[in-house]
Amino acid sequence: MLGRLRTRYFRNIWDATVSTVCVLAIAYLAIRFFEWAILDGVWQAKSASECASRDTGACWAVLPARWRLLLFGLYPYEQQWRPALGSLVLLLAAVLTCIPWFWKLSRIVVLWLTSFLAFVLLMRGGILGLPPVSTENWGGLALTLFLFASLMVLGMPLATLLALARQWGPRWLRIGVGLFIDLVRAVPLIAIMFGASLIVPLILPGWLSGDKLFRIVLGFAAFFGAYQAELLRGGFQAIDKGQIEAAKSLGMRAWQYQLTILIPQAFRITMPQTVNQAVAGFKDTSYVAIVGFFDLTASASAALGTGDWALAFVEVYIVVGLVYFVFAYSLSRYGAFLERKMASGHRR
């Protein structure tokens, strides 16, 4: 260990100098951060200015005062157990998805549809004596999780259908789907969100245009689906045509071998890029702030909005960044786990 350290970082005077300087710089920054965050941090105060009067460090007191806003946004305070429970259901579904027992189409579909439905019913209310809550009041981390879950639940099947249609559909469908994908990809996500929230209700009659949040979710899913569809199409093209012939010769119909042979392999082949898309999609959920929803990011700025805590913005954004990091990093690790799991059996 020591020997390796020496040959790697202290082989000669230059290496030793650079290594020493770097180590000192890192140590300095770490100590300063530790001082600021822990030693001089303030955990109890009524406002940011009170923090400043107590000590020079981080004003963590903003968290106990504002955490409900970060987690649940503008959702009615006394009803916030509903987004809490709903988010737990979604997180539980995500954890269960990691268990190989659920890696069967029927099981994964049932798992996600029920947890997604449970979340929406809990949040909307209007049944089982739950007072209805308008989607405009959904917010915080709960809204971010909802957006991401709907992106997966709607966007992934959409992407699969688009890719299948573009790869093997009849000519008119291939052209239509190609046009749709190119159009959606040519427009920035922000424009799609503005279109979904502002332009669609101008064009469609009221009863057809539906809820603003659900319009945005659909637009977002279409955007995600268009990109993901092209990834999957690449995956389809990488599968040897001989497998299709073998499936046909066994008497399988097109939908049967697409479901059991082509789609699973396309997802395996494109797993690294698919995880990439999912992580990007997770972070893109913060765009809904622009069309007036209080997701995690927007709730953070709302938490600072009152004069009391405006100075604690560094602390709040550190925490928000950490939350995004935890989710995005978990997604990457999950992707890496899937790849390892598949590589153990399936080598191409």
Partner 1 sequence: MSHSNEQVGSTNERTPAVHMESVHKWFGDFNVLRDINLTVAKGERIVICGPSGSGKSTLIRCINRLEEHEQGRIVVDGIELTSELKRIDEVRREVGMVFQQFNLFPHLTILENCTLAPTWVRKMSSKEARDLAMHYLAKVKIPEQAEKYPSQLSGGQQQRVAIARSLCMNPKIMLFDEPTSALDPEMVKEVLDTMISLAEDGMTMLCVTHEMGFARQVANRVIFMDSGQIVEANSPEEFFRNPRHERTIAFLSQILH
Residues that bind partner 1 (CB under 8 A): 240, 242-243, 245-253, 256, 260-261, 264-265, 268, 342, 345-348
Q: Which residues of 186-208 are buried (b: 16+ CB within 10 A; e: fewer)?
A: eeebeebbbbbbeebeeeeeeee
Least CB distance to partner 1 at residue 264 (A): 6
Pairwise CA distance, residues 83 & 70, whole Å: 12
Least CB distance to partner 1 at residue 266 (A): 10
Which lies closer to partner 1 via its Cβ, residue 154 or residue 247? 247
Pairwise CA distance, residues 320 & 309, whole Å: 15
Q: Say if residues 163 and 234 touch (Cβ distance below 8 Å).
A: no
Which lies closer to partner 1 via its Cβ, residue 211 or residue 240? 240
* Angle of CA points 73, 75, 78, to nearest 5°: 125
Q: Say if residues 77 and 63 touch (Cβ distance below 8 Å).
A: no
Place of tokens 């709040």: 316
Least CB distance to partner 1 at residue 248 (A): 6
Least CB distance to partner 1 at residue 308 (A): 57
Pairwise CA distance, residues 188 & 51, whole Å: 42
Q: Which two tokens stand for residue 119?
A: 């979340």
Pairwise CA distance, residues 340 & 268, whole Å: 11
Which lies closer to partner 1 via its Cβ, residue 57 or residue 235? 235
Least CB distance to partner 1 at residue 271 (A): 12
Which lies closer to partner 1 via its Cβ, residue 243 or residue 306? 243
Q: Say if residues 79 and 133 touch (Cβ distance below 8 Å).
A: yes
Least CB distance to partner 1 at residue 210 (A): 38
Which lies closer to partner 1 via its Cβ, residue 40 or residue 245? 245
Which lies closer to partner 1 via its Cβ, residue 180 or residue 257? 257
Which lies closer to partner 1 via its Cβ, residue 178 or residue 264? 264
Q: Say if residues 316 and 302 touch (Cβ distance below 8 Å).
A: no
